[in-house]
Amino acid sequence: HKTIYYKDYLPSDYTVVNCSLEFIIEESSTRVENIMEIRRQNPSAKELRLDGEKLDLELIWVNDVLLDETMYTKEENALLIPLDTDEARIRIINRIYPDENTELEGLYRSGGIWCTQNEPEGFRRITYFIDRPDVMTKFTTKIIASKERCPVLLSNGNLRGTATLDNGKHLALWEDPIPKPSYLFALVAGDLGSITDTFTTMSGKKVDLAIYCDRGNEDKCHHAMRSLKKSMEWDEYTYGREYDLEIYNIVAVDSFNMGAMENKGLNIFNSHYVLADEDTATDADFMGIESVIAHEYFHNWTGNRITCRNWFELTLKEGLTVFRDQCFSADMNSELTQRLDDVRALRERQFVEDAGPTAHPIKPDHYMEINNFYTATVYEKGAEVIRMMYTVLGREKFREATDSYFEWYDGKAVGTEEFLKAMQSQSPVDLSQFKRWYSQERTPVLNVSSQYRPESAELVLKINQIIPNNTKNHEQLPYAMPFRIALLAEDGSEYPLKSDDVTLVHRDVVWLEKSVHEIVFKDISSAPRLSLNRGFSAPVIIECDELDYPFLMANDRDGFVRYEAAHQFGIETLEAMMNGAEVNEHYIESYGAILCDGSIEAMFKSQILELPTLTTLMQRQAVIDVDVIFNAHEKLKQVLARRYFSEMLSMLEGLYNPSNAHIDGVSMGKRALKNRLLGLLMSAGDESVNALCLSHYHESLSMSERLTALDLLENYAPDLASGALDDFYRRYQDQTLVMNKYFAVCASSRREGTMERVAALQENSAYDVKVPNLVRSLIGSFARNPVAFYHRSGTGFRFVAEKVIEIDAINPQIASGLAGAFKNYPKLSHEQKAQMGIELERIKNHPDLSNNVYEIVSKILE
């Protein structure tokens, strides 16, 4: 298990100027012919090293000379050819076996469809190549296959020709005029249905758009198509970026390791992020499709035209593209709702990762397996780092800076340093210290306190940065960050911020750079309330015991701070209950005030009314005790439901419209609030509410409502649940995307016996361990279900460990994702730690363990 270091990076000795590929796809194997024009970049290089894995090499020519086995060296994962000229033409023929490819990297089969996944290092499983992102090549691709089995033949770029051949075969010739790294190469062949449309770019060029899917699902592609067109328009308007090919194709496949892939002109998607209709997709699914379609489209400029020099620079494209898709979703929907969802996801996933044994900087300096670094840190924290620069520069200057970035680096493979250079060119402050966000790990804490001086009408704000040591226990240095704040008067209005002690990058944004700041604000006529980290301007944890939660919940004009006050108040209330206290009456009242405030928009209300999750509370415990958290959580819901029973019930009835399945912001907001209220009411343990929930299950036309009702019945009304689960299964057993939801409800159940049910469901005919979505839904949901996974018996740990080992032999990427479930190991009680430790050792000592799982498990055990 070898480690690769950033410091060892060297440019490639040779580059591939162009590459002409021919694929002959047959039932049991595929023949690949690869003709490359190679150019030497390092004059002292004498040997060409090509990456290749699991390839059956047949023939090699160099400049038309056929090589015999003495003229090259074949290693397990490379081919070495002596080469002492500045230019050469290499021709290679090899064979691959897509049906045997269960890892889903390279060329594989999903259902009956041949498709590829090459990021980060899948291309080397197709043919021998210099498979690294700083080698950018012009590709042409000829695909030959049976016309009947594969009427659709797709690759990157523009279609240059088709022909019918003998023996029922046909061919398609694709040419991508824009040089790209091999990880963006894609090929699809199969019998697919499609929908088509067109988009005219801002300079008047017509682009043909198509979305391909399994036949019969065409009607579920329209939301994805609308999302694509909106993304294309948004990138023109917001960043001045125009699409650059004649064709944009998207293909939906069922077996896929992640969400989607931005291959040039030929995006390949997990069908979960393409297919949707009102009967089968939840509101979250519709939103997810809009954002992932946008994300992959935006990569065309941030990732494809300007790519990464090496994989350590992954956040260059991913952090930036996540930031862009978040802004797009905010513009398409509600800015506040989007921000709250993004912050919530960041804290639930990234903060947890950053606090645990697998923490790493957004730009890691070493890795064992690059596939393990497509993380919440590289993506979501990476996006927060970009957002901080956006906050500092402001919209217009940020746009000027990105214009420069595109102008300076188009067609190049670069790093975050280049991006920062473009940002610095427009920044009002020096960004050198800010760069620490790229190389340091863990989440800083800002400890904030204040002192009001009535005699001089001054407010002294003291901000202390607490920087945790890194995973190696080395000390880290203070960060620079934009901190958006307000000092609020009694009526909620904001005092203008005037101070000589700190740089104000905007009216309400202070630039923090020291470990301790003492800032005197002038002309504050009476003691103000603090409104901190507005809009979550910096990805930090705030500690401040002066916050007036009820006041902020009721009066703050910043929606994030309003939400945050409710959230923190909820945490403190629950933690007091976990320590034996009674429910805090002030909290109940503030909660009721939000609940009954008719002026609050439904989606925002549903977000504010969500109680802090079990994960949030676990995260804060020194020694994790899931049962204590779960009991307090259930009790608080019950108290709230009983106190506001009639208000909630009448509000619920007002929101319920069984026939509404519209996909618009207002309808989604109503459904979200309705689901939130039903969830609270169900914890009251009232027979009539159970019956109501069952009727919502049967009568609602939208999947969001039906699925929530099903989940609540499962957890709170077991007598009614089995009939509803059977009904759900019968209705949707042929729709694999909906079966994912069925498995997730069963595996997320808080009831006793969940593990036994999950184990039994593996035998269900709708389940298939080779399909990642199904594994994530059944096994992944179980591993994320704290009540079942941390069960005192230790059986949850054992079960997941067995699955990690079993799945590792099939698909190491999916197995290592699952192994992440053990990352709370250092924080367990003595007894649970011993139980989990045995399982982790068992995994680690398993023969033939992949690099992927080994890296995660060994870090956890360190």
How many CA atoms does the CB half-sphere of 613 hold within 13 Å? 14
The pairing of beta strand 106-110 with beta strand 307-308: unpaired
Nearer to ligand HT7, 318 or 353 (CB): 318
Nearer to ligand HT7, 155 or 816 (CB): 816
Smallest gap, in angstroms, from Cβ of residue 297 to Zn ion? 11
Hey, which residues does 208 pair with through a beta bridge?
A: 198, 247
The two three-digit tokens of residue 161, written as one number: 């020709």
Cα–Cα distance, 832 to 591 (Å, whole number): 35
Smallest gap, in angstroms, from Cβ of residue 254 to ligand HT7? 13
501 C-beta neighbours (distance < 10 Å), count: 12
Positive or negative, the CA dihedral 711, 715, 716, 717 is: positive
Cα–Cα distance, 48 to 13 (Å, whole number): 8
| Identified catalytic residue from 296, 380, 610, 714 | 296
Cα–Cα distance, 858 to 559 (Å, whole number): 42
Smallest gap, in angstroms, from Cβ of residue 73 to ligand HT7? 30
The two three-digit tokens of residue 35, written as one number: 């003709």
Nearer to Zn ion, 263 or 537 (CB): 263
Contact 47, 117 (CB under 8 A): no
What lies within 8 Å, CB to CB, of 411 at 6+ separation is 136, 179, 305, 306
Nearer to ligand HT7, 252 or 649 (CB): 252
Using the structure block, give the residue that is written with the tokens 């002192």: 451
Contact 355, 539 (CB under 8 A): no
Smallest gap, in angstroms, from Cβ of residue 344 to Zn ion? 20
Smallest gap, in angstroms, from Cβ of residue 211 to ligand HT7? 17
566 C-beta neighbours (distance < 10 Å), count: 24
Quote the radius of gyration of the chain (alpha carbons, Å).
Answer: 28
Tell which residue, 535, 637, 553, 544, has the closest CA to residue 590.
553
Smallest gap, in angstroms, from Cβ of residue 232 to ligand HT7? 17
Contact 772, 256 (CB under 8 A): yes
Nearer to Zn ion, 372 or 450 (CB): 372
Using the structure block, give the residue that is written with the tokens 């750079």: 513
Tell which residue, 766, 786, 792, 787, has the closest CA to residue 777.
766
The two three-digit tokens of residue 711, written as one number: 């989940």
Using the structure block, give the residue that is written with the tokens 């101070």: 499
What lies within 8 Å, CB to CB, of 205 at 6+ separation is 242, 243, 246
258 is in the binding site of which of ligand HT7, Zn ion, none (Cβ under 5 to 8 A by kind)?
A: ligand HT7
736 is in the binding site of which of ligand HT7, Zn ion, none (Cβ under 5 to 8 A by kind)?
A: none
Kindly list the distances between the CA atom of residue 161 and the CA atoms of 18, 108, 194, in Å, as whole numbers in the listed order: 19, 25, 20
Binding residues for Zn ion (CB under 5 A):
318, 321
Cα–Cα distance, 416 to 302 (Å, whole number): 12
235 is in the binding site of which of ligand HT7, Zn ion, none (Cβ under 5 to 8 A by kind)?
A: none
- Bond preceding residue 120 cis, omega within 30 of 0: yes
Smallest gap, in angstroms, from Cβ of residue 296 to ligand HT7? 6
Four-point Cα dihedral 396, 402, 406, 408, nearest 10: 100
Smallest gap, in angstroms, from Cβ of residue 106 to ligand HT7? 11
Cα–Cα distance, 749 to 33 (Å, whole number): 51
Cα–Cα distance, 251 to 190 (Å, whole number): 11
Smallest gap, in angstroms, from Cβ of residue 258 to Zn ion? 9
Q: Is 296 a catalytic residue?
A: yes
Nearer to ligand HT7, 310 or 835 (CB): 310
Decide: helix, strand or coil at residue 304: coil
Nearer to ligand HT7, 257 or 300 (CB): 257
Nearer to ligand HT7, 374 or 656 (CB): 374
Query: What's the longest Cα–Cα distance across the chain?
Result: 95
Smallest gap, in angstroms, from Cβ of residue 357 to Zn ion? 25
C-beta nearest to ligand HT7: residue: 258
Smallest gap, in angstroms, from Cβ of residue 300 to Zn ion? 11
For residue 464, which phi and psi values (nearest 5 degrees)? Answer: -115, 120
Contact 314, 379 (CB under 8 A): no
Nearer to ligand HT7, 103 or 556 (CB): 103
Tell which residue, 138, 161, 155, 181, has the closest CA to residue 23.
155
Nearer to ligand HT7, 144 or 292 (CB): 292
Smallest gap, in angstroms, from Cβ of residue 607 to Zn ion? 26
Size (the chain), residues = 862
Nearer to Zn ion, 293 or 761 (CB): 293
Using the structure block, give the residue that is written with the tokens 């934009």: 482
Q: What is the 3-state secondary structure (H, E, C) of 528-556?
A: CEEECCHHHCCCCEEECCCCCHHHHHHHC
Tell which residue, 790, 805, 774, 802, has the closest CA to residue 835.
790
Q: CA angle, 146 as apex, 140 and 148 as ends, to 5°? A: 125
Contact 185, 115 (CB under 8 A): no
Smallest gap, in angstroms, from Cβ of residue 190 to ligand HT7? 18
792 C-beta neighbours (distance < 10 Å), count: 12
Binding residues for ligand HT7 (CB under 6 A):
117, 119, 256-258, 260-262, 295-296, 299, 318, 374
Nearer to Zn ion, 273 or 437 (CB): 273
117 is in the binding site of which of Zn ion, ligand HT7, none (Cβ under 5 to 8 A by kind)?
A: ligand HT7
What lies within 8 Å, CB to CB, of 358 at 6+ separation is 372, 375, 820, 823, 856, 859, 860
Which residues are designated catalytic? 296
